[in-house]
């Protein structure tokens, strides 16, 4: 753990204390008003001596937190050095997945910035830094709460294997998965454009393999790359989606229903704020939101909202790989659940409304049975299918 980590966690503790104080104050105010069980709630603070007590708690918290932050800020340049560990990177990635938008908005040192990486290090976009580059570029985009190092699982890395079998040069993306998918998509489009302009040899093909949320980020990047008329889209030949929730994931919808229930009574409405402590990236997974218009000026916790349909890029061969915890094909509940996080229909781009279906040809769909969401990263059957599609 670095000094900058302690500084970031210190800021989080201050934020949590302030937030919890406000939650208790709102609950206190609603109880004092004695509304009916289903009466109208209020989010206003208390007044008088009670209000003064809550203001004092917030003032002392900010004062103490500011002093600690200033002290750690002076120590950070002196003591923070050396490589990061895989355990630290995994913890930061999970934290950013849950609170990444909050961390970024407050310039918290724990916030992850988007980087193109190789071997766990930022990629140097110079001829020397890109030494050994081939004419085939493979970009790996991780999912929610994960990072570039976690493509390595149980001794296997799809990108490393494809490098050996297909002559690809792998590049890994690292990003803050708690930000809105559209913000990451736009930033990724810019990163790929810079990468291909710096690539030291002519490029035959660009291939993107994306896991889970990463597939939505990649699709968003295609949308914004087309809007900006980026050159890299001319080189993009294949996109493979591993367990991507193209039409959303039910777990996020379940969290939203908890919010609605807690908001129903003034005596529990304060607790609904706890249910909303999840990032913009997570709430985007409810329906697979890809562009700014899906969330700009809207309550991201609203029950009814329809996204704009963003089709797959027509000039690119797109493939969908899904997993099912069921052992074999059938109509069992396990098959309907998909890989435990993403239903089969969502991973394969199928939707009850035909206008929202994504057009994956049957020859570009594959379902692995007896595996879960994370098994898509290392199962030999998954890699065999990737090799058949990409190394032909």
Domain boundaries, the chain: 3-82, 115-248+307-390
pLDDT, tens only, 203-250 = 999 999 999 999 999 999 999 999 999 999 999 999 999 999 999 887
Q: Determine the pLDDT at residue 278.
A: 76
Q: How confident is the model at residue 43 (pLDDT cuts 50, 70, 90)?
A: low
Tokens 């049975």 sit on residue: 369
Q: Which residue has the higher pLDDT, 58 or 75?
A: 58
User: Could you give the CA distance from residue 292 to residue 273 in angstroms, rounded to a whole number?
Assistant: 24
Dihedral pair phi/psi, residue 210, rounded to 5°: -130, 140
- Asked if 33 contacts 41 with a C-beta cutoff of 8 angstroms, the reply is no
Give yes or no for residue 290 having a pLDDT over 70. Answer: yes
Spatial neighbors of 141 by CB under 8 A, at least 6 apart, are 173, 188, 208, 209, 210, 211, 214, 215, 217, 218
Rounded mean pLDDT, 8-12:
71
Structure confidence at residue 182 (pLDDT) = 97
**Helix (H) / strand (E) containing 115:** strand 115-118
Q: What is the mean pLDDT of residues 268-292?
A: 77
CATH 3.40.50.1820 fits 115-248+307-390, yes or no: yes
Locate 319 and state its tokens: 């493939």
User: Picking from 49-58, 103-112, 158-167, 178-187, which range would have the lowest pLDDT averaged per residue?
Assistant: 49-58
Sign of CA dihedral 274, 293, 94, 211: positive
pLDDT of residue 37: 44
Measure the CA–CA gap between 347 and 336, rounded to whole angstroms: 11
Please give the residue that has the higher pLDDT: either 283 or 256: 283
Q: Does the structure show a pLDDT above 80 at 2?
A: no
Note the pLDDT tens digit of each residue in 116-161. Answer: 999 999 999 998 899 889 999 999 999 999 999 999 999 999 999 9
- Tens of pLDDT, residue by residue over 83-117, are 778 888 998 899 899 889 988 998 888 899 999 99
Residue 206 β-bridge partners: 137, 236
Q: For the chain, what percent of residues have pLDDT higher than 70? A: 70
| pLDDT, the chain, mean | 83
Q: How confident is the model at residue 286 (pLDDT cuts 50, 70, 90)?
A: confident
pLDDT at 267: 46
The answer to whether residue 77 scores a pLDDT higher than 70 is no
pLDDT tens-digit map of 189-207: 999 999 999 999 999 999 9
């Amino acid at each position: 753990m670095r000094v900058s980590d302690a500084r970031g966690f210190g800021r989080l503790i201050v934020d949590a204390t302030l937030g919890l104080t406000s939650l208790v104050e709102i609950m206190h105010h609603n109880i004092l008003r004695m509304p009916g069980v289903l009466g109208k709630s209020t989010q206003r603070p208390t007044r008088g001596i009670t209000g003064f007590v809550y203001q004092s708690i917030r003032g002392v918290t900010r004062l103490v937190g500011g002093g600690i932050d200033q002290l750690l800020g002076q120590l950070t340049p002196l003591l923070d050095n050396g490589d990061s560990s895989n355990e630290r990177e995994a913890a930061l990635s999970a934290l950013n997945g849950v609170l990444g938008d909050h961390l970024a908005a407050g310039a918290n040192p724990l916030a992850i910035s988007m980087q193109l990486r190789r071997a766990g290090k930022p990629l140097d976009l110079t001829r020397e830094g890109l030494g050994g580059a081939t004419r085939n570029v493979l970009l790996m985009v991780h999912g929610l709460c994960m990072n570039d190092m976690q493509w390595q699982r149980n001794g296997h890395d799809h990108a490393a294997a494809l490098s050996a079998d297909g002559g690809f040069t792998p590049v890994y993306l690292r990003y803050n998965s708690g930000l809105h998918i559209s913000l990451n998509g736009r930033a990724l489009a810019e990163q790929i454009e810079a990468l291909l302009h710096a690539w030291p040899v002519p490029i035959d093909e660009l291939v993107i393999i994306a896991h889970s949320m990463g597939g939505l980020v990649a699709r968003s990047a295609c949308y914004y790359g087309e809007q900006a008329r980026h050159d890299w889209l001319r080189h993009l030949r294949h996109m493979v989606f591993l367990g991507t929730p193209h039409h959303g994931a039910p777990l996020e919808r379940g969290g939203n229903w908890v919010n609605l229930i807690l908001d129903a009574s003034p005596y529990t409405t304060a607790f609904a704020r706890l249910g909303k402590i999840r990032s913009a990236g997570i709430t985007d997974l409810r329906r697979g939101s890809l562009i700014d218009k899906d969330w700009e000026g809207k309550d991201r916790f609203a029950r009814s909202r329809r996204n704009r349909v963003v089709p797959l890029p027509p000039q690119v061969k797109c493939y969908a790989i899904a997993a099912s915890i069921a052992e074999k094909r059938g109509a069992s509940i396990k098959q309907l659940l998909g890989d435990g996080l993403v239903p089969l229909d969502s991973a394969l781009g199928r939707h009850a409304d035909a206008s929202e279906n994504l057009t994956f040809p049957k020859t570009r769909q594959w379902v692995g049975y007896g595996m879960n969401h994370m098994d898509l990263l290392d199962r030999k059957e998954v890699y065999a299918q990737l090799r058949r599609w990409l190394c032909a």
